Structure 1
Amino acid sequence: MRALVLTGPGKAEVQEVEPPVAGPGEVVVDLERVGVCGTDVELFTGGMSYLHTGRSWYPLRPGHEWCGRVSAVGEGVSPSWAGRRVTGDTMLGCGHCDRCRAGRHHVCAELAEIGISRGRPGALAERLAVPATALHHLPDVVDPTLGALVEPGGNALRAVRAAGLEAGERVLVLGTGTIGLLTALFARAGGAEVHLMGRDEHGLHLARSLGFTDAWTRGSLPSLAWDAVIDATNAPGLPALALDLVEPGRRAVYIGLAGTPSTIDTRDLVLKDVTAVGILGGSAGLAGAIAAYADGSVDARPLVAATVGLADTAGVLAGRRPTGAGPGPKIHIDPRR
C-alpha cells in the first residue's frame, strides 16, 4: 500500500510499504480522511521534542487524526466491527498499569501514540492497524470531514470541560488556530459566552464568520471578568497572560505548547487561588465530540480549508497551502487519492 514516510528532518515521501495485518485484538481500517496537525509538522521539521528524547525516530509514518471503515478484524475482536465506520484514540496505553486501570491511559509510562511515538505507524496511508479497544463508531451523519476532526475535537472538549464553566459564564480563548476555534465552538455549544483573542485582525476573520463577534487582538481586548481563560496557542508569553486575566478562584486551562519554555509566577497562582489545568490528548473527549458533531450542536467543517491527495502531503507539511484553499487552518488528506 502507499504511505507517507518521514525519512529525516524536512524529508517526506510516499512509499510502497507492506500493508498492515490485523493482529490479535486489532482491526485494519481503510482510511477515508486524515488531518494534518501541528505535531505532524514538528515531526517533519525535526523540531518535535520526542525526536530528541528517543521517544520518536526516523523513519516515521505520521497521522493521528483519522476516520475510515473497518476492513478486517483480528483474533479476539467482535466480528460486528467489520464494515463499520470508525475513528480511534491516538493514545495507546499498556492496559495493565495503575494509570491505565484508572482510566488515565493517555499518561501511561509505556504510552505509544499512533503516528507519533514508539514506532507506531500512523494514518497518512491507505490502511491502518488499530487496537479494537481504541475504536469509536461513527454514525453516518458524521461525514469524513467531521470524522477526521474527532481527535482534535476531543482535545478541545476536554479543555472546555476543564474550565468548569456554567451556562452563561464568560470564557476567553487565546488562539484562533484549529484547537482554539474548536474550543470556542464546544464552549458555545455548552452555553458559555465565548470571546477569542488572536494575533491580528486577519486571524480573526474566520472566527467572526463562525459567529464569534467577540473576537479581539491583545490591543483591543476589553477589560472584563473572565470566568475561565483557555490558552490554545504556542506563544511562550501567553500562559502568564492567561493567569493574569482569569478571575480569582477560577480556572486557567493550558492546551497549547510553546516551542520554548513558558513560565508563570506561582505567587500569582496562589494569591489568586486559581486552578491551572493541563490538557494532553483527546481520549476522554472523543465520544463527546462525536455526539456533538452528530447532533449538529458543533459544526467544525468550516475549519477545513482543503482536502488533497497523499502525494500533496509533503508540501502541506512544508507549509504550502493548496491552490484554492479556503480560510480554515486545517488541511485534510484523502489517502485514496
Structure 2
Amino acid sequence: MLTAPNAAEIQDVAPPEPQPGHVVVDVHRAGICGTDIEFYTGEMAYLHSGHAAYPMRIGHEWMGTVSAVGDDVDASWLGVRVTGDTMLGCGVCRRCLRGRQHVCEFRYEVGIRGGWHGALAEKVAVPVGSLHRLPDSVDDATGAMVEPGGNAFRAARGADLAPGDRCLVLGPGTIGLLSARFAQAAGAEVHLMGRSERSIAFAGSLGFDGVWTQDELPDLPWDAVIEASNAPHLPERALELVEPGGRVVYVGLAGVPSVIDTRQLALADVTAVGILSASPGLAGTIEAYASDAVDPRPLIAATVTLEELPAILAGERPAGAGAGPKFHVAI
C-alpha cells in the first residue's frame, strides 16, 4: 500500500470477494512500472487531477490463477492461468461500444485510476471480460510481461514496419526495448538511442543492430522512429530524424509538455501515431510470446518479495540484480 509520497508498507487487507461479472485471481507474479514509481514519489499526474489518491494499492502488470468467480461467471474459469487488461471502461459509452474502452472517459485503471485495487497483493479482483488466457508456453515471468509488451506491440505495429526497414527507438527502458524486440520480429533493422551507460550497455547485449548515444547516432535514413523516452526534447528530435514519408510513434511520456513543429510534420508527409495502453495489443503480445517470436525475460533484473518492494520503489537495486530495467514481485 502507498500511504503518502515516498511511503510504502505491507498491510493485511480484507480479501476481495467476487462480485457479479467478476473473478478473483491469486496473483503469482507482478511487475513494477515507471508509473508505480511516480505514484510512490507523488509525481504521477492522476494524484493531482483527482483520478487517484492515497492510500492506494498499486500494480497493473500481473499474472495469476483464477480462484473464485461471481455467481454469473462460467465456473470453467476456475484454475485458469490468466493476465488481464488494465483499462476497465464503463461499457456503455460511445468509445466502449466501439472497442475503445482504453480511452473511456469514465474508465478505471487497475492499480492506477479510480481507486481500483492493483495486483501487488495476494489477490486481485477484475471483470471476467478483461481476462486473457495464458497458454502453457507462456511461463509466469513472461505472463507478467504481457501488459508492458502490449504497449510495445502496438508501438511497433504503429511504425508499420516491413522487412528491411530501418527503425530507431529512442529510450532503452522497458517499453523501448520491447518495442525494439517487436520491430526485430517484423524483420526491421533496429537501432536504439539512450543516455545512461548502464542502459546503453544492457541494450547492446541484446543483439540489436546498433545502440548509440545522442552524440554518436549515425546519419542514417530512419524509416520509423519510436519515441519511448521521458525526455521532453526527444519528441521533436524524433520528427527531425525520421525520413520524409515515414512514421513517428509516440509512446513515451515526459513530465512536462513537449513541443513539435507541425509544419515539419506536414511538409515531410510524416505520419505521427500516439499510443496509450496495451489493451488492443494484449492478444497479439501473448501470441508473440507463446511462439517465442519475442522473449521479454532478459529484461527482468530481479524477482523480489512484497516485503522487499518498498526499497525497490525508493530506488534501491538489490544485491545480485541484473542490468535489465524491470523488477518483478513473486507472491
Scaled by the length of structure 2, what TM-score is found? 0.99
- What SS class does the counterpart of residue 32 from structure 1 fall into? strand
Partner of 2:247: 251
Q: Structure 2: how far apart are the matches of 1:58 and 1:105? A: 25
Q: Structure 1: how far apart are the matches of 2:310 and 2:118? A: 15
Q: Structure 2: how far apart are the matches of 1:202 and 1:106? A: 33
TM-superposition CA deviations, 1:103-146 (whole Å, max 9, x none): 11000010110000100000000000010000000011111110
Q: Does 1:318 align with 2:314?
A: yes
Contact 1:64–1:90, Cα closer than 8 Å, also in 2: yes
Q: Structure 2: how far apart are the matches of 1:138 and 1:288? A: 12
Q: Does 1:189 align with 2:185?
A: yes
Contact 2:190–2:209, Cα closer than 8 Å, also in 1: no
Q: Structure 2: how far apart are the matches of 1:180 and 1:322? A: 23
Partner of 1:80: 76
RMSD after superposition: 0.8
Deviation beyond 4 Å, 4+ runs, structure 1: none
Shift of 1:201: 4.2
- What SS class does the counterpart of residue 86 from structure 1 fall into? strand
Scaled by the length of structure 1, what TM-score is found? 0.97
- What SS class does the counterpart of residue 73 from structure 2 fall into? coil
Name the amino acid aligned to 2:199: G
Contact 1:9–1:44, Cα closer than 8 Å, also in 2: yes
Partner of 2:101: 105
Partner of 1:232: 228
Partner of 1:47: 43
Partner of 1:133: 129
Q: Does 1:160 align with 2:156?
A: yes
Q: Structure 1: how far apart are the matches of 2:233 and 2:109? A: 28
Q: How does 1:134-153 map to 2 (within 5 A)?
A: 134-153=130-149
Partner of 1:67: 63
Query: Which structure 1 residue ranges, 5 or more long, are not aligned?
Result: none
Contact 2:66–2:82, Cα closer than 8 Å, also in 1: yes
2:266 to 270, 273, 279: 270
Q: Structure 2: how far apart are the matches of 1:76 and 1:174? A: 46
Partner of 1:175: 171
Q: Structure 1: how far apart are the matches of 2:259 and 2:189? A: 28
Name the amino acid aligned to 2:257: P
Partner of 2:54: 58
Partner of 1:124: 120
Name the amino acid aligned to 1:214: G
Contact 2:172–2:199, Cα closer than 8 Å, also in 1: yes
Shift of 1:39: 0.2
Contact 1:201–1:217, Cα closer than 8 Å, also in 2: no
TM-superposition CA deviations, 1:195-246 (whole Å, max 9, x none): 1111144322222211114111111111111111000000000000000001
Partner of 1:10: 6
2:26 to 23, 30, 37: 30
Shift of 1:275: 1.4
Q: Does 1:216 align with 2:212?
A: yes
Q: Structure 2: how far apart are the matches of 1:291 and 1:205? A: 29
Name the amino acid aligned to 2:225: V
Name the amino acid aligned to 2:136: D
